[in-house]
Structure formats: structure tokens, C-alpha cells
Structure 1
Amino acid sequence: MSSDKLDGVDEKSSGQVQVDAKSAFSSTGDQESQIVHLDIRQANLKLDKTGLPLVPQPSDDASDPLNFPQWLKIAILLQVSLLALLGPLNQATVNPAFVPLAAHFKISTVVASYQTTIAIAFAGIGSFVWVPLANTYGRRPLLLFTTLIAAASSLGSGKALTWSQLIATRVLNGLGTSSFFTLGAGMVSDTFFLHERGRAMGVFTVFLTNSAHIAPIPGGFLGQYVSYRWCYYLPAILDLTMFVVMFFCLPETLYLRGSTPVVTDKPILRRMKLWGLRPEGKHLKGSDFLQQFIMFKYPTVLLTAFYYSVTFTFSSILPAVTSATLFRRLYKFNASQTGLALGLGTLVGSTLGELLGGIVVDRSMYLSRKGKKDGSIVPEVRLQGIWVGAILQPIGLLIWGFCIRYKTPYIGPTMGFGIMCFAIQIISTVLYSYNTDCYKPQTPEIAQVMNFGRQIVGMTTGFWAIAMGDKIGYQFMAITLALVSLVTFIPVVLFMFHGKTIRDRMGVPSYNLSL
């Protein structure tokens, strides 16, 4: 398969566009985004269907994931997106069933929420082990292994006879599912070009965000009409199903740029192996487990991840962990009614947000590059697409809080968290795409920072949300959280205008440059 015929690029469009090779793909600055100064010199660039250089440039190796046929890229995207959906699904399906769970273990519903909190916390920690292993031995074997861990631990949660047994299995479940968020984002970055990445990341994040919203729907019915234990059995069954699908359909996407091409007439089948695909010269070192913390020192990653973590916690996790208590208290809802109200409201909001988010960020990048003679890339262009989300997120919070405080019909708080989820989908799509554009080779580590922040900030919600609302009133709680959201948004505004200067001053990470 010829790589210059993929993605709508034919011989005529790829042509003989000659540029100065050094300035085209410099290893400094924005890494892959250094396509500048189109001088008629040495290297032939492959172009997309609009005539702009493909970023990153695909190799001539048929095993290069960038050269995979488009149908396979979409299949990979759907598989890792479904896996991302299963992460929060493992953790959140039981949320509407806190009442029967609490009754069985003779604890309060607030204490019952701690088992979700524990799973969320360890889902933020486990990826620090999986990412270095995956960067050496491959994404595919690690995803298969951790999917089995998730399935076994979820099944164990359903079988738990004591509270301590349940907590132990939830720890394992968090560790297993932690790879779903980080390695999946890495596989999206491995296979899609820059001009496709916004929409691809948007699909990935809409599955990730919507998982916690879909989970309460079956969870509510299972908790009410069958048993809370089936809120754990269902994710276990889905995990095992996904394991089988990936075993036969998910190829390895880890690929070192510049590696020696492998001569084979079945490049895709070769990438289905479970071992033997370790990049040449790549060996696991103890320093690999420390190296991944380097991304925390880059302000554009750390501060956007903090804003994302705060808004995701307030917009997605807060409704998830409070609705069982509040809807039962205010509207006398049972588990299935709570699940439907929570699930449908947030699902509609997130889906509409993705329809806007992914298209806008890709279109803005295209117009920015098209307006420049050299087709150069400024990742900060993506950040302009965040404004709608940043404005609507605190508005949704206020609607939710005031409707809870003044006991409006249930449609009031449902609309509130629907608006919040619309906003957080835009925010997450923009920030994932922006950071990936800035540091593409470190995409798994970036996803790791964002996942760690989301999980660690989010895991605290069960400890303070109900207590804070009851103490100061849910309207004042909403005002406080809305102000926190706005304050944490300030650095994002700064990056819109000075992000490139800050990144140039910080330099680029010195590892994974060939990924």
C-alpha cells in the first residue's frame, strides 16, 4: 500500500513539494508543528487533500500506523473510545444503587459512595505504571492485560461479602481501568494526522465523558429490580467482551519514527502480534518510571490539566455522586428514576457538545494554516474554541445549585448538569487536542497528567459535596464552585496570547521524540 495514496492524498496532490528539511521538521520548538519556510530545496513532503503538508509526515513503511487504511484507523479509534467508556462505567454503574448497597453493608449512602471514590483515585495512579511499560512493550499487550484486571476485579466486587473485600477489589479495578484513558489517547495520536486529530480526540473524549453519564441508566434499573451486585457484573461482562474484540481487531500502534522498515506482505497482521514488536533499541529502564513526571513541569500542560480537572469534577463527577442522595431527598426518586434523569440529561449535553467541539477545533486549525503561505502551525489557535464551554460551565453550575436549593421540579437540576456536560465536552476536546499538538510524542504522558488530575480532584467530591451543600446552601455552593472554575480558566486565556512564548522558553521534552 502506498502511503502517498492514503487520506485523500494522490500522486498529483503530493507532487514534488520541496522544502528545506531542517526547517520543515525541527526537533526544537513545537516538535511536529515546525513546518516553516517553504524553500525549494531537498525533501519531498506528502500533502493532505487541501495541499498542506501532512503532520506528522508518514514514513514509507507500510507498518507505520499513519499509513494504515482509513477504515482501520476508524476501527482503532472506536475500540479505544469504547475502552475509555468502560473505565468510568466500571466505577459509576453502581452510583444510583447506593441505597441498596448501603443497606446491605449497613452503612450510610455517603459512606457507600466512598467505594466509587476509591476506584476513581486509583484510576489516576495506575497509569504511572502502565505508560512506561506500554512505551517499551507496546500499547496492545498492556491494554489486553489491564482489561482482564478490570474484568476480574469488577466481578470480584460483585462477589464481595464484606466492606473491606469490596474496597480491595475497587482498588484493583481503578488500577486496571487507569490504562484505558492514557494509552487510548496515545493510540489516537499514533494513527491520526494533525488535521484529523481534533475530531478523533473529540470522539475519544465524548466516549470518556459520557461513560459516567450512561452508567447510571442500567445501574439504576439493576440496583432497583435485580441486585446492586449486577452493577459490578455488567461492567465485568463488557470488559471481557471488549477483551475479545481487541484481541482479534486491535493492532499495535507504537512506532518509532526513523526506524528500519520491516519487509512484509502482511503489515497489519504483523501488528496483531502480542510480542516481538518492541521498538528497536528500546529497553525498559528504571528512569522511565520517573521520566513521565517531566510533563508536570510544562505550564501549558499542568495548568490546562488543572482547569480541565476542576471543571470535569464540578460538571460530571459532582452530579454523579450527589444525585442518588439529592433526588431521593427532594423528589422521592428510586434508583431507576435517578439513573434516567442523571444519564439522559448528561448524555444529551455531552453529545451536543462534541458535535460542536471537534469540528470547531479542526476547522479553526485548518483556517489558521491555510491563511499562512508556509502552512505553519500555532497550537494556540485551538484554544479559541473553548470560549463557549468556559462560559456555559459556570452557568450550568448556577442553574443546578439554585434549582436544588429552591426545590424546583427535577427538570431544573437536570438541565443544569446537562448544560455543564455540554460545556465540559467542548473544554475537554479543545484541551486534549491543544496539548497533543504541542507535544505529540508525549501524548500518553499528557493524557496521564490530565487523567491524574481529573481522578484525584474528582475522588474528593464524595467527601465534601453533600456536606458543603447542606452546610452553606446549594446556591452558595454553586456560586463558589463557579468562581473557582472562572479563576482556573485565567491561565488558559493567558496561553491563548502567550502560549507559544512560554513553550519556547521551556523547550521540549527530550524523550520519546521518535514516537
Structure 2
Amino acid sequence: MQHMEPAEEKGEDEEKGTCSIDGSESLSDEHRQYLLARHGTVALDPMPCMSPADPYNWPTRKKEINLALVAFHAMMATFTSAAIHSSLVPIGHDLHVSVQRATYLIALVIAILGCAPLFWRPLANRWGRRPIFLLSLLCSLAGNIGCAKSPTYNTMALCRAITAFFISPASAIGSAVVSETFFKRKRATYMGIWTIMVTCGVPVAPFIFGFLSQRVNYRWIYWVRTVGRKFNQAD
């Protein structure tokens, strides 16, 4: 019975989509035919399981849609800090604080975005990516609503801190999603796409929301971002 245990363990791993195979030499005929039918080759690195649950076996379109959602989520983290750059004067007038003090709302978010990923990465490794992303979407959505309705400076600072903390998981585990989805030969390309999306948040957010702040009201920055979080959650 001892020789059956490795096979049973392998079967459990394949169901989870987390098996690890050294190379094509150790593949069974059934596994080889599965990979040839799905990928057209067995020269794959890493070597995926014989299971559709393995992200490496997902269709390319599904992988790219997943990457787009994760990258958009990560970009919203930098949007959070940069969105009010062009609205500091209206914020100061509305909340009865100086422009210098209004800038602390940006510095607060930057500080949290720099530290919070250290908290989220172990949780994602323990509980999985999906629950963390869903928690991130829901709580950052609530934080943006709180910012839009904040009557005082302290309340807005608290709500921005909550938003920054809960929106940071994508920055922490987004690169891991790329590594766990794409084969090494294509990984650099998709990692570059993810990086560009994250980086674009800083210059793009003030450009877009500056017009919004001038034409309507700076609080609409938070309402628009709330809609964006809801859209991402729906997808």
C-alpha cells in the first residue's frame, strides 16, 4: 500500500491546481496528451497540472482579463494618493484647514501604501487571493463613500487611511498573480503591463480629477472612485 500514497497525494494536488513537476520526462502519457491538447507543447515552465483549475491551464483570454482586473485594482491604490493633488485648495477651504495641512491627506495614504502590503501578503498566502481581493474591494468602497461624506478634516483623514489600507493588497500580491498565471517565457511581458498600470495611477489621477474638481466639486472624486470600485467588484 505504500507505493499508492504518492499517487493519492498527487491526485489531491492536481484537484487544487498546485502540483509541482520537475520536467516533461516524468509526465504520464495521459498528462502529456492533456498538455499537448491544451498548449500544443510540453516544453512548459513551470509544468502545469493535468487540471483546468491550475491557472497555467486557463485560456489566454481568461488570464488577460484576470490580469486587467488585478492591474486596475493596483492602479486604484496609486489613484487614491494622487487623486486629490489638484484639489488641495478646495479641500482646505471646505474643511477649514491650510493647504499645507491638506497635503497630509496625501502623505498619510502614501505612508500606509508603503507599509500595509507587508500585512496583506502573508494573509493572501494563507487564505488565498480571492478572499483578500473581495475584502479589499468592499472595504475600500466603504472608505471612499466615507471620504465623500466626511464633514471634517479628521474624518476624511480616517476614511482615507481606511481606504489606503484596504486597497493595498493588489500592490502586495499583484506580481504574485502574474507569476502564478503566466509561463516564464511570457511572464516578463505581462509583468511589464502590470507595472505600467500601477505606475500610471500617479500622473493620470490628478489630470483626470483636476477637471472634475473644477467643473463639479472635489467630493465627486470620491464618488467616481466609488463607482470604479463597484465596477471592479462586479467584474
- TM-score normalized by the length of structure 1: 0.38
Are 1:199 and 2:182 an aligned pair? no
1:221 and 1:42, CA in 2 relative to 1: closer, same or farther beyond 3 A?
closer
1:63 is aligned to 53
Distance 2:174 2:107 in 1: 23
Following TM superposition, where does structure 1 have runs of at least 4 consecutive aligned residues deviating by more than 4 angstroms? 44-47, 49-52
Distance 2:170 2:140 in 1: 10
Residue 209 of structure 1 deviates from its aligned partner by 0.5
Listed one character per residue, the Cα deviations across residues 68-115 of structure 1 (whole Å, up to 9, x for unaligned) are 111111111111111112111122211111111112223332321110
Distance 1:149 1:120 in 2: 18
Listed one character per residue, the Cα deviations across residues 221-268 of structure 1 (whole Å, up to 9, x for unaligned) are 1211211111222111111111111xxxxxxxxxxxxxxxxxxxxxxx
Distance 1:151 1:95 in 2: 20
Superposed counterparts of 1:388-427, under 5 Å: none
1:79 to 60, 64, 69: 69
Distance 2:40 2:129 in 1: 32
Distance 1:112 1:78 in 2: 33
Distance 1:102 1:178 in 2: 26
Q: CA RMSD in A?
A: 2.4
* More helix as a share of residues: 2
Distance 1:107 1:130 in 2: 33
1:235 is aligned to 225
Secondary structure at the aligned position of 1:191 is classed as: coil
Are 1:127 and 2:117 an aligned pair? yes
2:174 is aligned to 184
Give the aligned length: 208
Distance 1:180 1:117 in 2: 20
Which amino acid in structure 1 is aligned with residue 169 of structure 2? S
Distance 1:68 1:197 in 2: 15
Residues 121 and 174 of structure 1 are in contact (CA less than 8 Å); yes or no, is this contact kept in structure 2?
Answer: no
Are 1:103 and 2:93 an aligned pair? yes
1:43 to 19, 22, 26: 26
1:103 and 1:62, CA in 2 relative to 1: closer, same or farther beyond 3 A?
same
Which amino acid in structure 1 is aligned with residue 99 of structure 2? T
1:92 to 62, 82, 85: 82
Gaps of 5+ in 1: 1-23, 26-34, 36-40, 246-515
Superposed counterparts of 1:262-281, under 5 Å: none
Are 1:165 and 2:155 an aligned pair? yes
Superposed counterparts of 1:242-321, under 5 Å: 242-245=232-235
2:209 is aligned to 219
2:198 to 196, 204, 208: 208
Residues 74 and 168 of structure 2 are in contact (CA less than 8 Å); yes or no, is this contact kept in structure 1?
Answer: no
Listed one character per residue, the Cα deviations across residues 118-153 of structure 1 (whole Å, up to 9, x for unaligned) are 012112222233222221221011101111111111
2:139 is aligned to 149
Secondary structure at the aligned position of 2:43 is classed as: coil
1:62 and 1:155, CA in 2 relative to 1: closer, same or farther beyond 3 A?
same
Secondary structure at the aligned position of 2:168 is classed as: helix
Distance 2:172 2:67 in 1: 13
Residue 190 of structure 1 deviates from its aligned partner by 1.0
Which amino acid in structure 2 is aligned with residue 43 of structure 1? S
Q: How high is the sequence identity, in percent, across the aligned residues?
A: 29
Gaps of 5+ in 2: 1-20
Residues 79 and 202 of structure 2 are in contact (CA less than 8 Å); yes or no, is this contact kept in structure 1?
Answer: yes
Which amino acid in structure 1 is aligned with residue 188 of structure 2? G
2:5 is aligned to none
Which gives a bigger RCO, structure 1 or 2 (Cα 8 Å, sep 6+)?
A: 2
Distance 1:140 1:65 in 2: 13
Listed one character per residue, the Cα deviations across residues 407-432 of structure 1 (whole Å, up to 9, x for unaligned) are xxxxxxxxxxxxxxxxxxxxxxxxxx
Rg larger for: 1
